[in-house]
Amino acid sequence: MTRDKAKQKSALSADRVCCAVAACVLSYLAARLIVSDFSHWHVPLPAEATALGQVIAVACLPVMVLVGFGMRTRHRGLVLIGMLGGLAALWPQVLS
């Protein structure tokens, strides 16, 4: 194996690790925003709405991590999770 191929292989694995970390962070932020949106959604009973948001976020978090990391096209999943997080961040302003 030549040195060029060894460098390409190590760069590829480092890129995959960075993509996996970014997918986990973006997915966590999106799930956190979903929980905060649910707490604002039902004002008379915020504790029950927050519990429902937590259940949905816990169910969606592994799916979001897999989508963020596992798309075939490079960084398409990260963009998709970023758009979901942006939508979750803007949702309380839309409802108001």
Domain of 79 in residue numbering reads as 3-95
What's this model's pTM, rounded to 2 decimal places?
0.76
- Looking at residue 24, its amino acid is C
Count up the domains in the chain and report the number.
1
- The string of pLDDT tens digits covering residues 52-93 is 889 999 999 999 888 888 876 778 888 889 898 899 888 878
- The string of pLDDT tens digits covering residues 30-51 is 999 888 888 877 778 888 888 8
Distance CA 25, CA 27 (A): 5
